[in-house]
Amino acid sequence: MTDLDWEIRELGHPQLRKPANPVLDIAEPDTQRLLDNLLTFVVQKQGMGIAAPQVGISLQIFIMCSHPNQRYPNAPVMKPACILNPTILHYSTEMEKDWEGCLSIPGLRALVPRSNAIDVAYDTRQGERVQIRYTGFLARLFQHEYDHLQGRLFIDHVDSTLDIMTEKQWRNTLSTMA
C-alpha cells in the first residue's frame, strides 16, 4: 500500500483516541515526503484538512486547506498549510456554534461550539516556529484538526445529542431554512 492508498481511520478505531507524538526531525526526507503525501491526499478526498492520526500515523501533523465547497460554501480560500507540533496558546472566550463534519465520521454532522479566535504556535515544514491568530472559520478548522492530535473528535464537544444528525438530514434541514 502506498501512502496515497491510505485508509482513513473511522469512528471507533483506537488510533483516533490516542494523542499523537511530536515530530522530532522536520527536515528528514521521510517527514517531508509525508507532508507532500498528506497535501495530495486531502485534495483527493476534497477535505478542508487532514491529520496524520486519521491515516494511522501518530505524529503531530495536520494540513489545513480551506476552500469553498459543497459542504462549506462560505469557507475562505487559503493556501494549504502544513502544521507541525502545534499548540493553542489562547482561546477567546467568545464562542460560536456551527456545523462540522469529518472524514473520520462519514455521514454525520454536528453543531459544535468553538472559540471564535485562537492564538497558536506551530512549526512550518521549513522548521520555522510561527505564531498566528486565527478567527472565524479558520479558528474552527484549526481546533478541529488540533483535536485529532489530542485524541479527540468533534462529536466530543457537542452540547446535546440533539445537535448531531446524518448528512442527509442536515442537507434537508439546510434546504428548508434557505
Q: CB-based contacts of 167: which residues, under 8 Å, 6+ apart?
A: 101, 106, 107, 108, 109
Mapping DSSP onto H, E and C, the string for the chain reads: CCHHHCCCCCCCCHHHHCCCECCCCCCCHHHHHHHHHHHHHHHHCCCCEEEHHHHCCCECEEEECCCCCCCCCCCCCCCCEEEEEEEEEEECCCEEEEEECCCCCCCEEEEEEEECEEEEEEECCCCCEEEEEEEHHHHHHHHHHHHHHHCCCHHHHCCCHHHEEEHHHHHHHHHHHC
Tell whether residue 102 is among the known ligand binding residues: yes
145 is catalytic: yes
From the candidates 10, 28, 94, 145, give the one annotated as an active-site residue. 145
Tell whether residue 157 is among the known ligand binding residues: no
Tell whether residue 148 is among the known ligand binding residues: yes
| Grid cell listed for 99 | 456545523
- Mind telling me the catalytic residues? 145
Binding-site residues, in ranges, read 102, 144, 148
Binding-site residues for Fe cation, in ranges, read 102, 144, 148
